[in-house]
Structure 1
Amino acid sequence: MVTAAYLSKYFKRITIIESDDVLSDTFNKSTPNEILDYRCHLESPTSIGRSGVSQIYQAHIIAREGFNILHKLFPHLKDKLINEYDIRPYSLKNEARIVINGILLNQNLTEDFESLGIDRFTLEIALRKELCLQYGKQIEWICNARAIQLIVNQSANIVQGVKYRLKHNVGSPSVDIYGNFIVDCTGRNTSSTKWLKESFNLIVPTVQLHFGTGYVTFIGERFKTGDPSLDSKSILGSNGNIPENNIGYSISPIRTIKTDDENSLGTLSTIAICCVNSEYPPNDSYENLLEWTEEYLDSEINSILKSTRVCSPLIPYRRAIDDRKYVELLGKKWPQNYILLGDAMCIFNPQFGQGITHACRHARELRKIFDEHCHKLEDISYIFNRRASAISEECWLASTTSDWKTPTLKLIKTDKNGKIQTYQQGSNFDTANGSKLRIPLIIKFLQWYNYWFSHCASKSGQLSTDFLHVVNQSCNPLILIKPITFLQVCYMALIHHFRLSKN
């Protein structure tokens, strides 16, 4: 939807092929309270016809830069979310606890960061309404349809369109639709690599990291725990401490509610318990989940969970991986007038909440390329691949640095010749050529640096602020290794080392 809004400036007609019936009255005519009630009583995406977004009910985070992009495109969206949907802005400085590896990282911030707590299901509906309101005359929706093949001119190396088929008419013939520019926004389940192989005999180099991630998400009403310092915080987050502790959590407000119960905090929150290394939390009952978290999470988090009334089913998700397609390595072998955007190009460990903002930044970068007015349409895909991969690299390193610590990590690499190598952490050899899995030097350095940086940031408001700028994707990660910061981190590591040696 963001991509369509950006490209509306340059194309008279934009067609969105959507796998589900997203224009139904259930989505577009329900009141905000009806939408929330509907969301809370659904047990899976297929029960609402959102099978195309299998992770829609899981916890999602939109970083500040992502909201900045949405706000510039849809200036009235934020006010509508607050006034009509009862979404409450909250301060990361005063109303949040951000814990990484057991270290609190948002103390004494030098500036504040505003965030909006909202579930993806509600945001998607509100955003679609705004898109239709602002760009309805330019955008055509083909719903309940699925793209099944590219239409190409092999000799000219051009993608001219796609074939699609309506989902409810399985035996019906496919329909051809042509366009000047084709964008694959189909996300983590994209068929692009298969299509490119079939249409151009083109193999996209990929790297996949399988680290056994899984999470359980539900909506709950929070009640007082007896600890005002916990009750006053709107969000808590942690990404575990691999491999010593593979369990993390997030508790994010999504709605302000009216209640007569004096013990209620007046908020509904999306609560997620997440893990790596295949240590999956149970979802058969809340009692079993509480028993499981009692063993793995600290007492403060457990007190919050015990003081929460569950308002929705416990929905699991266990299929997320790190998956990057190195499209930029193909240069001008890549077909013209065709790009992969967002998750279709690169997906990450969902615990780090980068995906939506990463995709929004890709869409904005595409608009910038069109704005430059000096590129031929047939060259835009090559230019975009290079620039978008730089954005993906930032998020990729942030995610995979931690994931490389997973004891059962599995790495699958495919080169541009189609050679596949599979490695397993803890195994002496890979299945293809007998090579041992080795952690890249840059990853080893970043693991060391991140550990000591987090200790420095816990004592420095400026470093914590710089860290949140990077987490919110509003600053380049290089600010975390600028000379004065690098020296602080090295000094902290050296002091600790020599103290240990004296002991």
Structure 2
Amino acid sequence: MKSTSSEILDYHCRLESPTSLGRSGVSQIYQGHALQSEGYKILLKLFPQLKDKLFNEYDVRAYSMKTEARLMAEGVFVNQNLTEDVDWFGIDRFTFEIILRKELRLKFDDQIEWKCNTRVMGLIVDQSLNIVKGIKYRSKKNIDSSSFDMYGDFIIDCTGRNTSSPKWLKESFNLIVPTIQIHFGFGNVTFIGERFRTGDLSLDSATVIGTTVNPPHKNVGFLASPIRILKTIDDSSLGTMTVFSINCVNSEYPPNDSYENLLEWAKENLDIEYYMILKHVKVYSQLIPYRRAIDDRKYVELLGKKWPQNYILLGDAMCTFNPLYGQGMTHAFRHARELGKIFGESCHKLKDISHIFNRRASVITEECWLASTANDWKTPTLKVIETNKNGDVKIYQRDSDSATTNYPQPRIPLMIRFMQWYSHWLLQCASKSGQLATDFIRVVTQQSNPLILMKPTTFFAVIHIALMNYLKDWGLFGGRSARNTF
């Protein structure tokens, strides 16, 4: 907490594992993270003084998605010809957590009691009143130590994707949370390094560079996201410390045993321009793999009044997404803002707030869920696990072994099928329309409701370009092109 900016970065790069941070619950702390524009806006509204500190003390800054980024999806530059600028916040998760904890101490030090190096073991409940009265916790350092009780009027679980709340609610209230999990074989390798000039001005002038996966045809993606400015006298350096992330789905994992092997793999599996960037990088950290991410949604709103009166799940504890799209932190920020609005309305009884929050938060989650999972549903080795409120579990598997495992093939929901088709042609339109590209970026960064991409002018433009393509295919080949069939 007292480290300087350079000491924090040096400490970050040389740690052997996330557990040495005392943050064992966040094994993905090393990975590339994105705080999308709406999350950045919420952050600065909560901590107005933070912007100057970020830029002047920690050498981070916001980057222009209009002039400093080069982002592709399905072969389309999605940020070209933007009609308005959008910020990309450049910071690593490790530094971000330290800064926020320091700010919380400064702003609320007399109101917050920190229980560090502890683990929550379970809930203290009153079943007759359907309330959670508190939690039981113990020291992480002494696993044989006795537990302690902590009581509260309102309890928030923001422990992330590894939350134990479903287990505790089942034990304490015999309450089964309906869930759906989508396993798509996610994996990535992340490292920190300094970028140097490649000789290609179009690459060297872009600070944020990335391309998404597009299964089943393209199961590998790439992202280079700056985390701080470097002061250097080396003219060949681009002057940024950057997090590099090579991502995959369908279990097509990149190697992490050596940078040389990773480069060879990148040469075969990435576009040449991304290989050239990696070839001109000075690596400052280990190559950190991460392979546990899934789409995991808990439909808490379906339980209605059966849900405990004064207990909520927030952010990743309620729903986790494919980390390739960088929605998680902003999704949690939006949940927190909505909870603040509910308390700020000062017209709700405390016993009703969790139910109100569950309904409102699920709307936010639904936006992110549809945007994230539509692409994941195309993964060749997809596995879906559904659990209803009665505890009945159904498993679906899409791969060559499905016949031997006796799992039926997953059926793609009609809404997802439509979104896959619509988003493909929407991107083709966005490549020709600055306004549509701007609307698309605003939705991706959670600044606008996805419904703006369905407004009449946009909808008919998408239908028109799709229809023209079908007519062209019919005229040339006498039948529909298989790749565009809905």
Report TM bin, short chain.
Answer: over 0.9
Separation (CA, whole Å) in 1 of partners of 2:404 and 2:440: 39
Q: CA 1:246/1:117 → structure 2, altered by over 3 Å: closer, same or farther? A: same
* 2:245 paired residue number: 272
Q: Equivalent residue of 1:188, what SS?
A: helix
* 1:261 paired residue number: 234
* 1:18 paired residue number: none
Q: Is 1:123 aligned to residue 93 of structure 2?
A: no
1:200-211 alignment runs, 5 A limit: 200-211=173-184
1:178-197 alignment runs, 5 A limit: 178-197=151-170
Q: Equivalent residue of 1:360, what SS?
A: helix
8 Å CA contact 1:422, 1:431 repeated in 2: no
Q: Is 1:83 aligned to residue 56 of structure 2?
A: yes
Q: CA deviation at 1:426?
A: 3.7
* 2:216 paired residue number: 243
Pick aligned residue for 2:377 from 401, 404, 414: 404
1:78-477 alignment runs, 5 A limit: 78-426=51-399, 435-477=408-450
Separation (CA, whole Å) in 1 of partners of 2:399 and 2:235: 53
Q: CA deviation at 1:49?
A: 2.4
RMSD over aligned Cα atoms:
1.4
The C-alpha deviation readout for 1:311-370, integer Å capped at 9, x for no partner, is 100000000000000000000000110000000000000000000000000000001111
Q: CA deviation at 1:42?
A: 1.6
Separation (CA, whole Å) in 2 of partners of 1:430 and 1:175: 50
The C-alpha deviation readout for 1:181-208, integer Å capped at 9, x for no partner, is 0000000000000000000000000000
Separation (CA, whole Å) in 2 of partners of 1:36 and 1:378: 44
* 2:484 paired residue number: none
Q: CA deviation at 1:46?
A: 1.4
The C-alpha deviation readout for 1:55-102, integer Å capped at 9, x for no partner, is 001000001110111101111111111101111321100010110122
Q: CA deviation at 1:40?
A: 1.1
Q: CA deviation at 1:371?
A: 1.1
Separation (CA, whole Å) in 2 of partners of 1:473 and 1:106: 15
8 Å CA contact 2:396, 2:407 repeated in 1: no
Q: Equivalent residue of 1:421, what SS?
A: strand
Q: Equivalent residue of 2:302, what SS?
A: helix
8 Å CA contact 1:165, 1:173 repeated in 2: yes
Q: CA 1:198/1:113 → structure 2, altered by over 3 Å: closer, same or farther? A: same
Q: CA deviation at 1:436?
A: 4.0
1:494 maps to amino acid: L
Q: Equivalent residue of 2:329, what SS?
A: helix
Separation (CA, whole Å) in 2 of partners of 1:38 and 1:435: 48
Q: Is 1:482 aligned to residue 455 of structure 2?
A: yes
8 Å CA contact 2:229, 2:240 repeated in 1: yes
Separation (CA, whole Å) in 2 of partners of 1:444 and 1:226: 42
1:39 maps to amino acid: H
2:56 maps to amino acid: N
Q: Equivalent residue of 1:140, what SS?
A: coil
Q: CA deviation at 1:262?
A: 1.5
Separation (CA, whole Å) in 2 of partners of 1:74 and 1:430: 55
Deviates more, 1:114-123 or 1:201-210: 114-123
* 1:20 paired residue number: none
Separation (CA, whole Å) in 2 of partners of 1:416 and 1:433: 24
Q: CA deviation at 1:43?
A: 3.2
Q: CA 1:112/1:434 → structure 2, altered by over 3 Å: closer, same or farther? A: closer
8 Å CA contact 1:421, 1:433 repeated in 2: no
**Residues paired across the two proteins, number:** 476
Structure 2: any 5+ residue segments left out of the alignment? 477-486
Deviates more, 1:392-401 or 1:430-439: 430-439
Separation (CA, whole Å) in 1 of partners of 2:249 and 2:362: 26
TM-score, normalising length from structure 1? Answer: 0.93
1:48 maps to amino acid: L
Q: CA 1:434/1:472 → structure 2, altered by over 3 Å: closer, same or farther? A: closer
Q: CA deviation at 1:44?
A: 1.8
8 Å CA contact 1:421, 1:432 repeated in 2: no
Q: CA deviation at 1:425?
A: 1.2
Separation (CA, whole Å) in 1 of partners of 2:408 and 2:244: 41
Q: CA deviation at 1:501?
A: 1.2
Separation (CA, whole Å) in 2 of partners of 1:170 and 1:396: 37
Deviates more, 1:200-209 or 1:102-111: 102-111
8 Å CA contact 2:215, 2:379 repeated in 1: yes
Q: CA 1:428/1:485 → structure 2, altered by over 3 Å: closer, same or farther? A: farther
Separation (CA, whole Å) in 1 of partners of 2:123 and 2:20: 30
1:328 maps to amino acid: E
Structure 1: any 5+ residue segments left out of the alignment? 1-27
TM-score, normalising length from structure 2? Answer: 0.96
1:41 maps to amino acid: R
8 Å CA contact 1:187, 1:342 repeated in 2: yes
8 Å CA contact 1:325, 1:346 repeated in 2: yes
Separation (CA, whole Å) in 2 of partners of 1:146 and 1:345: 19
Separation (CA, whole Å) in 2 of partners of 1:174 and 1:48: 23
Q: Equivalent residue of 2:380, what SS?
A: coil
The C-alpha deviation readout for 1:117-169, integer Å capped at 9, x for no partner, is 11011111111111110111111100000111100000110100000011111
Q: Equivalent residue of 1:383, what SS?
A: helix
Pick aligned residue for 1:49 from 2, 5, 22: 22
* 2:9 paired residue number: 36
8 Å CA contact 1:32, 1:85 repeated in 2: yes
